[in-house]
Amino acid sequence: MEKNSPQSHQGHKEIPKHEIQNEYPILIVGIGNTYRSDDAVGLCVAQHLKRQTFDCVNVIEESGDGAALMDSWKDSDAIILMDAVHSGAQPGTIHRFDVHTQTIPTKFFHYSTHAFGVAEAIELARALKQLPQNLIVYGIEGKSFEAGIGLSLEVEKAVEEVMMRVKQDILNCSPRKYTEYH
């Protein structure tokens, strides 16, 4: 199914449309630690998205415990994760992974307080054949992971772009069911 998915106007693959069975078929998960500077960016995006209401979409915040993540996505058809990463790219760079076609480099999500974190959860789910039907991961390149509150300027600037792209993913996933209330 993945291989035949159409390309979106942004150049990345759409989440395939499929029959919606669950109350919240789309789950958005913001991951991070509020007290570790840019590590909070995933939470920040999630908090912004929570202020808008979407049909069929549940937005939650997690600290990045891999086992809890695996459990959280069991009841949804499409999952979108957002977390800070540190890969050496420019701070604020947005990486997007379609998990069914890409392996997640474990060191990419290294800036987590969890040894069993996002990348490990995804790869373990793959090994156990428990990957959700659709799983998109946004990694936002962080600049500072020091103890402290607040995003650095470069990362703050990426928040809106990530929100737009996540909303596009939601649209692609379920155009008829998607409604945004302002």
Residues at the contact surface with another protein, assessed by CB under 8 A? 33-36, 62-68, 70-71, 107, 110-111, 113-116, 120, 123-124, 126-128, 145-148
Q: Which is nearer to another protein, 97 or 111 (CB)?
A: 111
Separation between Cα atoms, residue 150 and residue 36, nearest integer Å: 8
Q: Quote the least distance from Cβ 35 to another protein, whole Å.
A: 5
Q: Quote the least distance from Cβ 11 to another protein, whole Å.
A: 30
Q: Which is nearer to another protein, 144 or 168 (CB)?
A: 144
Q: Quote the least distance from Cβ 164 to another protein, whole Å.
A: 27
Separation between Cα atoms, residue 46 and residue 30, nearest integer Å: 5
Q: Which is nearer to another protein, 14 or 83 (CB)?
A: 83
Q: Which is nearer to another protein, 71 or 180 (CB)?
A: 71
Separation between Cα atoms, residue 65 and residue 83, nearest integer Å: 12
Q: Quote the least distance from Cβ 34 to another protein, whole Å.
A: 6
Separation between Cα atoms, residue 121 and residue 133, nearest integer Å: 15
